[in-house]
Amino acid sequence: MEINAAVARAPQAPLSLETLQLEPPRAGEILVRLVATGICHTDIVMRDQHLPTPQPVVLGHEGAGIVEQVGSGVTKVAVGDHVVMTYNSCGHCASCDKGQASYCHDFFPRNFLGTRADGSSGLSQAGKMVYGNIFGQSSFASHSLCHERNVVKVPRSAPLELLGPLACGVQTGAGAVLNSLRVAPGDSLAVFGTGSVGLSAIMAGVVAGATTIIAVDRNRQRLELALELGASHAFVADSPGVVERICQVAGGAGVDHALDTTGLAPVIQQAVAVLAPRGTCGILGASDPSSTLELNLSHMMSAGRSLRGIVEGDSLPDHFIPALIRLYEGGRFPFDRLVTYYEFEQINQAIDDAEHGRVVKPIVRFPTPL
């Protein structure tokens, strides 16, 4: 079938709106008509070749839509179901077997390398392969092939055009708080970086009952939004004495939990520096593969502090995404406050606005078929 897609053909270049051919779903695959898809910083990283994602490629990994066709063996969803497409995983490695699919041993190739496991792509143009299957979906397109493992059925009562960011950015931030760090009532939490991931973490901190929630960023408008969404304090990241001031408002000893969403080593060092004894810092941001981190070992060991990486918020998407939807519908997780909508043909403007911090979470919407 013919589909409309935004194709990345060169680093830093605008995506090209093109007509491509899409294969029918194979066994275990699902054809989804996109209603909307979120734009994530990781899409920009792949476009600009900071990760070895081959081009030409259709990016996009926060898709939401309606099932149009299922391949043989699919039982999880049926034609007409509303779905969100999340990260892909193999289903049979040691991590997947233990319910930790975000640490799948095959995570990188199944999400970033642009092909199915057998090296094929469902996308082509004039007989030439176009790379797809990014995060098992490539949702910068009117239609997408996804897999039974990375599709999540969602209730029809929820606004489908809003739900795509739950697949990655929102579940990463919220899951880090609720699943990974298990923030408890009365705990303190510092979040470094208030993009969609950091603001989702702040909203989850409110859900968890944290009483001191500290937002740290250079962007003053983002800090104002963080306060509106439940942060108790906000600090400009490069202001004098910011580490000491964070520790002070958290009771003097530091915070119970810290999260870095920037992937920048100097910021991670700050996040570790504000930890109280036995505190844990989680790293959520995508760092340059060559970057390293220097830590004071005595600071870490002598007070039982911890530093850990967190992927996709340790989420089990089939359970966690519907849980976030229930929180949203109950008025307790207003992630719609992060969103700015664009039409599909405005996708390059949406990406540019995201890159320059003009919006928090852009979502592109696809035309409704006649």
Per-residue pLDDT tens over the stretch 22-48: 999 999 999 999 999 999 999 999 999
Tell me the C-alpha distance between 242 and 247, whole Å: 9
Query: What pLDDT, on a 0 to 100 scale, did the predictor assign at position 149?
Result: 95
Tell me the C-alpha distance between 214 and 229, whole Å: 12
Query: Is residue 240 helix, strand or coil?
Result: coil
Which residue has better confidence, 229 or 368?
229
Strands (E) in the chain, as ranges, are 2-8, 16-22, 29-38, 57-58, 63-70, 82-85, 123-125, 128-130, 143-147, 151-153, 188-192, 212-217, 233-236, 255-260, 275-283, 306-309, 339-343, 361-365
Report the amino acid identity of residue 17.
L
Tell me the C-alpha distance between 38 and 362, whole Å: 6
Q: Assign 166 a pLDDT band (cuts: 50, 70, 90).
A: very high
Tell me the C-alpha distance between 303 and 274, whole Å: 12
Q: Assign 369 a pLDDT band (cuts: 50, 70, 90).
A: confident
Query: What pLDDT, on a 0 to 100 scale, did the predictor assign at position 67?
Result: 98
Query: What pLDDT, on a 0 to 100 scale, did the predictor assign at position 205?
Result: 98
Report the amino acid identity of residue 368.
T
The answer, yes or no, to whether residue 151 has pLDDT greater than 90, is yes
The answer, yes or no, to whether residue 285 has pLDDT greater than 90, is no
188-192 vs 128-130, strand pairing mode = unpaired
Query: What pLDDT, on a 0 to 100 scale, did the predictor assign at position 161?
Result: 98
The answer, yes or no, to whether residue 290 has pLDDT greater than 90, is no
The answer, yes or no, to whether residue 370 has pLDDT greater than 70, is no
Which of these ranges, 54-58, 246-250, 366-370, has the smallest mean pLDDT? Answer: 366-370
